[in-house]
């Protein structure tokens, strides 16, 4: 399971060691935002396992291998999410708690959960994706809607920038819309595209999903500031 190592009480400035080693290419440091603590909290199999406190939650949804774990690690500057696990791995909802100083809205300490929902896309095609997402992810959103735990402050739909408009991703967007979960679109692995591919694919994504994607790269750190700003805005507006 993911390890609770990381940036505890360290913040971005401190170089991490061992499992929490900072990547070679240093992600840029978001102005005025400091990660004080980032920890794996729990994996939920059923609704009953979902934490019952009132921290804001930011859900991350995406195809298996889209780069969700890498993105969580890059955001937190710590290796708290396990990457590159075999497709077909357990269908768990993983909760990571982050404690942040500052960010959008000015100074002040705040905490939130980054909620890693199960990847989809093992089965080919859209309908398969919906079925794969259904059980525990629906329990997560239902739990929020029922007010048994804190609401979902926001949802990020992660799509691979190299493959705009995949049926599985369109299906996931429709599924989220059906649940009433408004989402922000995040285009991962943007470092893998040439300049012209980048322009074309981002336009394709915007046409397909009806919103501009935020291009990010866990490898280069591109987009981390923007993503933290979005997360901070969502979490703080929910508080």
Using CB under 6 A as the criterion, which residues of the chain lie in contact with ligand GDP when the complex forms?
62, 64-70, 83-84, 119, 188-189, 191-192, 217-219
How far apart, in whole angstroms, are the C-alpha atoms of residue 178 and residue 133? 13
User: CB of 67: closest distance to ligand GDP in angstroms?
Assistant: 3
User: CB of 190: closest distance to ligand GDP in angstroms?
Assistant: 7
Residue 120 DSSP SS3: strand
Spatial contact of 189 and 163, defined as CB atoms under 8 Å apart: no
The b-or-e profile of 63-102 (16+ CB within 10 A means b, else e) is bbbbbbbbbbbbbbbbbbbbeeeeeeeebbbbbbbbbbbb
How far apart, in whole angstroms, are the C-alpha atoms of residue 225 and residue 191? 16
Indicate the residue among 94 and 230 with the shorter CB distance to ligand GDP: 94
Indicate the residue among 37 and 161 with the shorter CB distance to ligand GDP: 161
Indicate the residue among 78 and 149 with the shorter CB distance to ligand GDP: 78
How far apart, in whole angstroms, are the C-alpha atoms of residue 228 and residue 65? 21
Indicate the residue among 65 and 155 with the shorter CB distance to ligand GDP: 65
User: CB of 164: closest distance to ligand GDP in angstroms?
Assistant: 16
Indicate the residue among 101 and 191 with the shorter CB distance to ligand GDP: 191
User: CB of 54: closest distance to ligand GDP in angstroms?
Assistant: 27
The b-or-e profile of 193-223 (16+ CB within 10 A means b, else e) is beeeebeebbeebeebbeeebbbbbbbbbbb
User: CB of 89: closest distance to ligand GDP in angstroms?
Assistant: 8
Indicate the residue among 37 and 65 with the shorter CB distance to ligand GDP: 65
Phi-psi region of 165 (alpha: psi -120 to 50; beta: other; left: phi over 0): left
User: CB of 63: closest distance to ligand GDP in angstroms?
Assistant: 7
């Amino acid at each position: 399971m993911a390890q609770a190592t990381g940036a505890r009480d360290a913040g971005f400035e401190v170089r991490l060691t061992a499992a929490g080693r900072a990547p070679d290419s240093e992600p840029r440091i978001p102005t005025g935002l400091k990660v004080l603590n980032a920890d794996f909290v729990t994996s939920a199999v059923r609704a009953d396992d979902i934490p019952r406190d009132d921290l804001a939650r930011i859900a991350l949804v995406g195809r298996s291998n889209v780069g969700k774990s890498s993105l969580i690690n890059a955001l937190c500057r710590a290796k708290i999410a396990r990457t590159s696990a075999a497709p077909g791995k357990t269908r768990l909802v993983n909760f990571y708690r982050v404690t942040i100083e500052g960010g959008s809205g000015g100074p002040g300490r705040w905490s939130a959960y980054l909620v890693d929902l199960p990847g989809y896309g093992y089965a080919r095609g859209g309908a398969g994706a919906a079925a794969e997402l259904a059980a525990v992810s629906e329990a997560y959103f239902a739990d929020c809607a029922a007010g048994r735990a804190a609401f979902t402050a926001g949802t990020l739909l992660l799509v691979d920038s190299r493959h705009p408009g995949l049926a599985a991703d369109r299906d996931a967007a429709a599924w989220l819309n059906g649940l009433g979960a408004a989402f922000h679109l995040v285009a991962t692995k943007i470092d893998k595209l040439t300049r012209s591919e980048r322009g074309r694919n981002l336009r394709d994504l915007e046409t397909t999903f009806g919103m501009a994607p935020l291009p990010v790269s866990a490898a280069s750190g591109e987009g981390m500031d923007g993503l933290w700003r979005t997360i901070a805005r969502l979490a703080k507006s929910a508080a």
